Amino acid sequence: MITKSLRNVNQGDRISSMSNCPGFRLGQSINMRDYIRFLKYLKPHLWIMAIALFCMIASSGLGGVSLGMIIPLVDNILANRAMSIPGSQNVPEFLLNIVDKVNSMPKPELLNWLVLIIALIFLLKEAFLFLQTYFMTKLGQSVLRDVRLVIYKKLLKLSNDFYSTMQTGELVSRITFDVGIIVNSITEGLTDLLLQPIQLAVYMVVLIGIKVYFSISWVFILITMLVFPLISYPVIKIGKKLRKISTSTQESMSDMNSLLFETIYGIGVVKSFTAEGYQADKFKTHNYRYFKMLMKSVKRMAMISPLGEFVGVMCVAIVLWFGGKEVVYGRLSAGAFIAFLAALLSLIKPFKRLSRLYGINQQAMAAITRVFNIIDREPTIKDRPGAIAIAGFKDSIEFNDIDFSYGQEPLVLKKFNVMLPKGRVLAIVGLSGAGKSTFVSLLPRFYDPTEGSVLIDGRDIRDFKVSSLRSQIGIVSQENILFNDSIRNNIAFGMPDADMEDIRKAAKAANAHDFIMKMPEGYETFIGDRGIRLSGGEKQRIAIARALFKDPPILILDEATSQLDSESEKLVQEAIDRLMAHRTVFVIAHRLSTVEHADKIIVLDSGNIVESGTHTELLAKSGIYKRLYEIQFKLKTGS
């Protein structure tokens, strides 16, 4: 395969490899700077946050006003007691006028006005609350959209060596599950971070205002100021534990996603080996581990709210005990005390939400570290400073003293030297694992050689811009990747505005036009995930049409006719012959009959070129090539 498939690595290897990445060590202290850095994604949407903040202030302010309405309702209507403000010499004139107006108003009329005003206040309060919720959700989803796009673009830029050490499910988990946790910390956490302090301030103003104007003892305020903050210490202790658990939970979700993707992709293999039970047991293990981690997290999050409420209720109980006696002995207005008590009760919710916010942010910080681990990755294959666009291919391609290994593994290619003139065909043969696919992967710079260089017209390909280099190369492999899109878009991949006539021309040359026209919607037919609606031969011809449409001067064919029936192979081979015409071609083939007419054949064994020459010359050498050819000839003839 040209693109090296994702390797199956076990959990221990995966965690070991991740532990070498910044911010990925289990139990590592997560840097608050990552969280602050993530908030930069809010910048383009600050106008949304400003609207939401205004709505928060408005709804909280109206909530405070509604509490103040309790005083005339209780004192003047229910208790039939005239409103009064102690220390009236210090009270503004307009407030005294309002009090006089309320006291002089008939009780039924006052009740009508109070009910109308309270209803209006609550209507406006709920309207602002709706707008606040809508705009904060919009803010979170806008950030979610932007961050997912950033990660997806980064995944497109990262080199093949990154994908060879990461599981597909884990990457999908980063872009869905982890980012979702972060956005939850914005929609819920940031809402509380902005709203609850506003509500605390409003209700504290109400408390202090009632205390000042109704001469309520400072003891009540002091109780409020001292008892509520006691919740902070246990919340912080719980939050630290939550951060570690959240990291494990997110890793468990990655493992489960990886297994799910593998099962769906390889469902045919699972069924053919009747391995459903085996796979189910594996999924059960991952699923249970995720459940166990999640419940640990839920348990700690659930502890925060009751703990906060208990502290709040204890505070209210103390105030109720002291204040109740003041009302009983007539030293305090019942309306003022009930309004004070209502304001005090209203403080419980903001404190609870703020204490829960710490836990939410600890979960988000673990996810942020995992997300930035991808965003901060630099591709190993990238343009050199001063890289130029390749002007065209004129003379030859040369592999000069190439050594190559995947990371710390042993060398796959050793002192590899090959030169291919323009317009010629080079065939690469050898047993599986000899290094054939690795060799051709160096030409489009899917990987760079560990030592040596690949030259086009005598110039190192690292001097060319990667995109311009790859635009000169077409690839058709054994397992062609097609996309869940129309046939038209698969042929003109990456070029949605391509001319339809050029697409048809490429399809006809690939022997694909006839079967395409028999499909329900012709070229606009969607072929399903990985082209599942097509046969192997049809997939191959679509891939050849894609290469023909690109019309590259350099072509790589990697086992392009293997695993096809005789009829499909004939059609595909005809298409390949047209594709190879007037191009410089690298052909990997197990079927040696397909490379007999190559201009040059090289035989690889353990990363070394052990033989080279034409088909006739290699048969005359009585080496590996001849033995492989004779084995295949005997299998074909049955002799």
Would you say residue 572 has pLDDT above 60?
yes
Is the pLDDT at 22 greater than 50? The verdict is: no
pLDDT band at 498 (very low <50, low <70, confident <90, very high): confident
Q: Give the tokens for residue 576.
A: 């390949």
Contact between residue 515 and residue 539 where contact means Cβ atoms under 8 Å apart: no
Same domain, 255 and 324: yes
% of the chain beyond a pLDDT of 70: 69
Residue 1 forms part of a structural domain:
no
346 in a structural domain: yes
513 and 592 belong to one structural domain? no
Q: How far apart are CA 263 and CA 279, in angstroms?
A: 8
Tell me how many domains the chain contains. 3
Please name the helix (run of DSSP H) or strand (run of DSSP E) that holds residue 557, with its range, or none. strand 554-558
Give pLDDT, residue 97.
Answer: 66
pLDDT for position 538: 83
Residue 6 domain flag? no
83 within domain boundaries:
yes
User: Is 513 found in the same domain as 557?
Assistant: no
Q: How far apart are CA 174 and CA 367, in angstroms?
A: 8
What is the pLDDT, as a whole number, of residue 331?
A: 67
Amino acid 9: pLDDT: 32
Give domain status of residue 2, yes or no.
Answer: no
Smallest Cα–Cα separation from 193: which of 314, 307, 56?
56
> Could you tell me which residue, 29 or 368, shows the higher pLDDT?
368
Rg of the chain in Å (alpha carbons): 36
Q: What is the residue-averaged pLDDT of the chain?
A: 75
Q: Which of 357, 143, 144 is nearest to 242 (CA)?
A: 357
83 and 232 part of one domain: yes
Q: Is 1's pLDDT higher than 50? A: no
DSSP string for 468-502: HHHTTEEEEESS----SSBHHHHHTTT-TT--HHH
Whether residues 423 and 513 share a domain: the answer is: no
pLDDT value at 25 more than 60? no
Exposure b/e, 583-616, CB count within 10 A at least 16 = b? bbbbbbbbebebbeebebbbbbeebebebbbebe
Q: Are residues 493 and 432 in the same domain?
A: no
CA distances, 421 to each of 435, 440, 604 (Å): 22, 16, 20
Domain that holds residue 238: 14-375
Query: Where residue 567 falls among pLDDT bands split at 50, 70, 90?
Result: low
Q: Per residue in 121-170, pLDDT tens?
A: 888 888 888 888 888 888 888 888 888 888 888 888 888 777 777 777 77
Please name the residue ranges forming H helices in 24-159: 32-38, 46-68, 70-72, 93-104, 107-157
CATH of the domain at 118: 1.20.1560.10
352 with 389, same domain? no
Does the residue 119 lie in any domain? yes
Question: pLDDT over 90 for what percent of the chain?
Answer: 3
Residues 196 and 109 in one domain: yes
Give the separation between CA 347 and CA 203, rounded to whole angstroms: 7
Cα–Cα distance measured from residue 533 to residue 527, given in angstroms and rounded to the nearest whole number: 5
What's the pLDDT at 180? 77
**Does 514 score more than 70 pLDDT?**
yes
- pLDDT (mean) for 414-422: 88
Q: How are strands ordered across the β-sheet holding 459-460?
A: 413-421, 396-404, 451-456, 459-460
Q: What is the CATH number of the domain that holds 486?
A: 3.40.50.300
- pLDDT tens string 175-215: 777 777 777 777 777 777 777 777 777 777 776 666 666 66
The pLDDT of residue 613 is above 60: yes
Quote the pLDDT of residue 6: 32
Calculate mean pLDDT across residues 418-427: 90
The answer to which of 33-42, 320-329, 393-402, 614-623 has the lowest mean pLDDT is 320-329
Residue 638 lies in a domain: yes
- Tokens at 489, concatenated: 């878009």
Decide which of 375, 407, 431 is a domain's last residue.
375
Give the domain-ending residue among 375, 406, 441. Answer: 375
Is 93 among the domain residues?
yes
Q: At which of 551, 571, 588 does a domain end?
A: 551
Q: Is the pLDDT of residue 250 over 70?
A: no
| DSSP conformation class of 510 | T
Shared-domain flag, residues 485 and 546: yes
Least confident of 124-133, 167-176, 566-575, 622-631: 566-575
* 447 and 388 together in one domain: yes
Binned at pLDDT 50, 70 and 90, residue 455 comes out as very high
The answer on 486 and 342 residing in a single domain is no
Higher-confidence residue: 42 or 225?
Answer: 42
Say whether both 208 and 139 belong to one domain.
Answer: yes
pLDDT of residue 607: 82
CA distance linking residue 379 with residue 24, whole number of Å = 18
Q: How much is the pTM?
A: 0.68
Q: What digits encode the pLDDT tens for the residues 65-109?
A: 666 666 555 555 555 555 555 544 555 565 566 666 666 667 677
